[in-house]
Amino acid sequence: MGSKEGLFKAELKEKIFQIFKDFLTRVANFEELGAVGSRLLGGFQQGLEFLRRPPINRKSKLIENIIRANETERFKSYMAAGFITNHDSIQNISKLHTCLLGLHDHLTKAKTILNELENLLEDLTTAIKTANGSFSLLRDEDLCEKFDQQATVNQEETSSADLQELGMTDYAALMGIIYGMVKQDYMMQERIVTSLNLKSLSGEMESYCLMWSLHPYLNDEILQQAWRLIH
């Protein structure tokens, strides 16, 4: 009887470990996808700034002399168009369109990963419920503080063996915390993308790009702590 129970526990531990590993792999995929989205957002910002390029300051004597020295009909037309050729304008509009489509595609892929994370969390919860009969997660706030403290201790080289001592509920609660962080980051990205248009202000775009690249909702210390559990 004891050997069967031991075998069951070993199999359960392996299953939980694999689910946890798959979960972190999806989180890594989300972060990689976010980097691609950041480049697309930067491209959209550049496209907008190109359209908003300020006119040449003709109050400068040097600029005025250059204009007078080259005052051909072609140059006048070019100047009247804000020194943007039709080709440049078409190319830029195409770039804006491509970046915006890419960002919406990014949201679709990110949402898929978010759903996969939720499914893996449910799989782990089901596995633990099956083993224990009933299961209740620790409060996120308490566990978050716990892992913050462990992250500090890890600066003094906590061994991987110590980390493996986490209980089943700890794995589940840690996954719940990380899922919450990823979901918040996704929601931020979604709000940014759905607010983009040709009237988006320069200051807004600067803030959007900065917030996207910083991932303010992802706690690096907790994520590093989680990765140590599988390495």
- The per-residue pLDDT for range 54-103, each reduced to its tens digit, is 666 566 677 667 667 776 666 666 566 565 666 667 788 899 999 999 99
> Alpha-carbon distance 152 to 158, whole Å?
10
> Alpha-carbon distance 63 to 72, whole Å?
15
Consecutive 10-residue averages of pLDDT for the chain (231 residues): 62 87 97 97 92 66 69 63 65 91 98 97 86 48 56 48 58 94 98 95 95 95 92 78
Q: Give the per-residue pLDDT at 168.
A: 75
Q: Identify which of 85, 107, 91 has the alpha carbon closest to the alpha carbon of residue 195.
A: 107
What's the mean per-residue pLDDT of the chain? 80
Structure tokens at 92: 């830029």
pTM for the model:
0.75
Q: How many residues does the chain have?
A: 231
Q: Identify which of 217, 206, 201 has the alpha carbon closest to the alpha carbon of residue 42.
A: 206
Q: Which residues contact 120 (CB under 8 A, 6 or more apart)?
A: 19, 22, 23, 26, 175
Q: Give the per-residue pLDDT at 160.
A: 42
